[in-house]
Structure 1
Amino acid sequence: MIEEIKDFIIKHLQDDAVIACQENGLQAAIYVHEKKLVEICQLLRDAPRYYFDFLANITAVDFYPEPYFEVVYHLSSIPFQKQLTLKVKLAFDRVEGTMPELDSVAGVWRTADWHEREIFDLMGIYFRNHPDLRRILMPDDWQGFPLRKDYIDPETYHDIPVK
């Protein structure tokens, strides 16, 4: 199925939309170009042949000390009972005060709103065009992103010991 979907994406978009297919591991995945992510998601949602109507989950993986993150999208087609994993590799040099950026898919699936907010809050990935991108679990004035592998716990928060 993964090769068929890859060919479908390439046929309807450009050749550079798909970067690679990952067929080993627990779940096959398609690596897609970050600039084509929203188009690919709309295509897969609207295609009568696939109809990936449900975004089950989005997560992010920090590959520290390597200079990149992966954002992983788990799609489901409820009527066809199929699952698909899309991955986007985001280069990030970890310059303080900067964040890796990716376009939001909240306009494709409304459930992305909360998933992207959680990733923003805990991993520090900024989602462009998100309707309400703000912290969801951590206090608004929290410094840093606790799920990054290079995160260092603060000693105190508002003079209250954290550890």
Structure 2
Amino acid sequence: MTFEEIKNILVAGFGEMISADEKGLQPSITVPSGSIAEICQFLFEDERFYFDYLACITAIDNGPGLATMELIYNLNSIPYGHELMLKIIFPRNTEDQPLPSVSTVSHIWRTADWHERETFDLFGIHFENHPDLRRILLPEDWEGHPLRKDYSAQEKYHGINVRYEN
């Protein structure tokens, strides 16, 4: 199945809010953030696709200027050899606002559990209904999310210098 066929089926089933970017090395489909779990469930269960493997979830912080963040999902269908990149774009929070939040897909693919925890840890994106959303790389009491554009490392952590000064 081609990228164009996958896109057309998603547009027919989920509406015109689906858009495609066919430039670059790997084309992607951008879906509404509120529909990510529903669309992923469809892509997993539909016999035409059977995207049975979630290879990666990663994030991009577009910074305070654009005030958006992105999540990128790399899906594979092992039996059919399909690959698909899904994206969602959503508002970025400021210091006085709660963390941005999207639905988990960990109930669809077990690998999402760790990918979402890593994304939460490093970018501060909350995954609604995640079964165990806690830090995975940094200590539980670490301040902030290091891959955000506005992150500023704390001076010390439990008496240990965190910032290196020349």
TM-score range, shorter chain: over 0.9
Q: Which residue of 2 aligns with 1:116?
A: 116
**Equivalent-residue separation in structure 2 for 1:131 and 1:98 (angstroms):** 19
130 and 107 in structure 1: CA distance in 2 versus 1, 3 angstrom threshold? same
Deviation per CA, 1:75-98: give whole Å up to 9, x if none: 000011111000000112423352
**Aligned partners of 2:20 and 2:29 also within 8 Å:** yes
Partner of 2:58: 59
User: Is the CA contact (8 Å cut-off) linking 1:2 and 1:30 kept in structure 2?
Assistant: no
CA distances 1:85-130 after superposition (whole Å, capped 9, x unpaired): 0000011242335211000000111110000000000100000000
Residue 6 of structure 1: aligned partner: 7
Preserved CA contact (<8 Å) 1:117 1:133:
yes
Unaligned runs of 5+ in 1: none
Tell me which residue corresponds to 1:83. 83
Query: Which SS does the other structure have where 1:148 is aligned?
Result: coil
Distance, in Å, in 2 between the alignment partners of 1:4 and 1:17 is 17
How far the C-alpha of 1:3 sits from its partner, in A, is 2.4
Which TM-score applies when normalising by structure 1?
0.94
**1:12 CA displacement:** 2.7
- The corresponding residue for 1:95 is 95
- Residue matched to 2:35: 36
Give the aligned partner of residue 27 of structure 1. 26
Contact 2:99 2:125 in 1 (8 A): yes
Q: TM-score, normalised by structure 2?
A: 0.92
Percent of aligned pairs sharing the same letter: 47
C-alpha RMSD of matched pairs (Å): 1.2
Aligned with 1:11: secondary structure? helix
SS of residue in 1 equivalent to 2:116: helix
**Structure 1 runs of 4+ with >3 Å offset:** none
Please tell me the residue identity of whatever aligns with 2:23.
Answer: N
Q: Residue deviations 1:6-34, cap 9 Å, x none?
A: 22123233x1451x101001210000011
Conservation of the 8 A alpha-carbon contact between 2:74 and 2:84: yes
